[in-house]
Amino acid sequence: MAEQTEKAFLKQPKVFLSSKKSGKGKKPGKGGNRFWKSIGLGFKTPREAIEGTYIDKKCPFTGTVSIRGRIIAGTCHSAKMNRTIIEGDHVIIGQCRPLSKTVRFNVLKVIPAGSTGGSGGKKAFTAA
């Protein structure tokens, strides 16, 4: 299911891998061989979470973490984790339970730094 690069075998806890039935296991989804969920709050589940092969128990789309509390928008200043974003990307993050000693937020949406919004470009200041 996933590319195993760690010493321990990674699996999603809500998916039974030794099933002898072959009907639903072909397609990813609610009844398939990959667990994913909608977090609500107007955020769509990314294609990578539905069709991907990564396993992350702290991911709000494929893990057991629920988003509640504050929703904040900002810019990424450091990228230290796996499968992450590039510095300078605009992100929307949501508050969740404490994931570690210092981490309390999860990235919900990434807007790449090179892309522009609906305005079509950068703001241009004109001399009056």
Name the residue ranges covered by the structural domains of the chain: 47-111
What pLDDT is stored for residue 21 in this prediction? 63
Phi first, then psi, for residue 47 (nearest 5°) are -60, -35
pLDDT at 128: 59
Question: Is the distance from CB of 89 to CB of 111 less than 8 angstroms?
Answer: yes
pLDDT by residue for the chain (128 residues), tens only, comes to 557 777 777 778 777 777 666 555 455 555 557 888 888 888 898 888 888 888 888 889 888 899 999 999 999 888 776 667 888 889 999 999 999 999 999 989 988 887 765 555 555 666 65
For 10-33, give the DSSP string: P--TT--TT----SGGGS-BTTTT
Q: What is the CATH code of the structural domain delimited by 47-111?
A: 2.40.50.1000
* pLDDT score, position 41: 87
Q: How high is the pLDDT of residue 28?
A: 53
The pLDDT value recorded for residue 98 is 94
Q: What per-residue confidence (pLDDT) applies to 20?
A: 65
- CA dihedral 32→37→43→44, nearest 10 degrees, is 0
